[in-house]
Amino acid sequence: MLFSIGFRPIEPGSGVEFSKALGGNRVREQFTVILLTYNRDAVLSASLERLHRLPYLNKVIVIWNNVAREPLGAWPRLHVPVEFIKVAKNSLNNRFVPWDRITTEAVLSLDDDIDLKQHEIVFAFRLVCDLRGKLARP
């Protein structure tokens, strides 16, 4: 005889463990943004502001490609650390350097003038988490 009660877990949980495992509670379940910029302070400032309060964001690393001057000190404050790396040579390839400051498995590399909405970034991160091991990796 078939029962109509369906499948039920022996010890159902609250779902908290499951939701935490999908992002946010560990460094590996977060991502780092690499932001490449050159001499566009206002554009960089706007890009940083768009990242404020972005879920699952661990830190922002700004690759400062302007070898002629230092970055200014007045940047928007975010809920995560923002670190600047001033490179010795201006190169678009600086975005691909495996910087020691990256502590997460997932990295989002952006130019300073890219305008992605937060929900688009979160969706992409969730895909990376869901397809872990199936996407191209180093």
The predicted-structure confidence for 9-66, as pLDDT tens digits, reads as follows 566 666 555 555 555 455 558 999 999 999 899 999 999 999 999 999 999 999 999 9
pTM listed for this prediction: 0.78
The answer to whether residue 7 is domain-embedded is no
Which CATH number characterizes residue 65's domain?
A: 3.90.550.10
- Beta-ladder partners of 34: 61, 109
Residue 52 lies in a domain: yes
Q: Which residues contact 98 (CB under 8 A, 6 or more apart)?
A: 138
Q: How many whole angstroms from its chain centre is CA 134?
A: 19
Q: What are the residues whose beta carbons fall under 8 Å from the beta carbon of 4, sequence distance 6 or more?
A: none
User: Is residue 47 assigned to a domain?
Assistant: yes
Structure confidence at residue 95 as a pLDDT band (50, 70, 90): very high
Range of the domain at 120: 27-130
Mean pLDDT of 69-77: 90
